[in-house]
Amino acid sequence: MSVPEPRIAAFDGPSVCLFCGSSDAADPKYTAAAAAFGQAAARAGWRLVYGGGGVGLMGASARAAHAAGGRVLGVMPAFLRSRERLFDEVETLVVTSMHERKQIMYDQSDAFVVAPGGIGTLEEVVELLSWKRLDLHGKPVIFLNIDGFWDPFFALMRHSVATGFTPSSFLEAWTVADTVEDVMAQMIPPASAMPARAPLKHDQR
| pLDDT tens digits for range 152-162 | 999 999 999 99
Measured between alpha carbons, how far is 61 from 20 in angstroms, rounded to an integer? 9
Kindly report the average pLDDT of the chain as a whole number: 87
Q: Which of 120-129, 165-174, 183-192 has the lowest mean pLDDT?
A: 183-192
Contact in structure between 61 and 28 (CB atoms under 8 Å)? no
Distances in Å between the Cα of 49 and the Cα atoms of 9, 42, 92, 142, 149 are 13, 11, 10, 15, 22
Smallest CA-to-CA distance from 102 within 89, 82, 120 is with 120
pLDDT of residue 191: 46
Backbone angles phi, psi at 35, to 5 degrees: -65, -45
Integer Cα distance of 171 and 168 in angstroms: 6
For residue 17, how many C-alpha atoms fall within 13 Å in the half-sphere facing its CB? Answer: 23
Query: CATH topology for 21-187?
Result: Rossmann fold (3.40.50)
Task: List all residues 6 or more positions away from 174 whose beta carbon is below 8 Å from its beta carbon.
Answer: 114, 129, 141, 142, 143
Assess whether pLDDT exceeds 80 at residue 120: yes
Distance CA 117, CA 131 (A): 20
Q: Is 166 in contact with 133 (CB distance < 8 Å)?
A: yes
In the chain, where the domains are located: 21-187
Q: Which amino acid is at 169?
A: S
Look at residue 144 and tell me whether its pLDDT is greater than 50.
yes
pLDDT-based confidence at 84, cuts 50/70/90?
Answer: low
Peptide bond into 190 cis (omega under 30): no
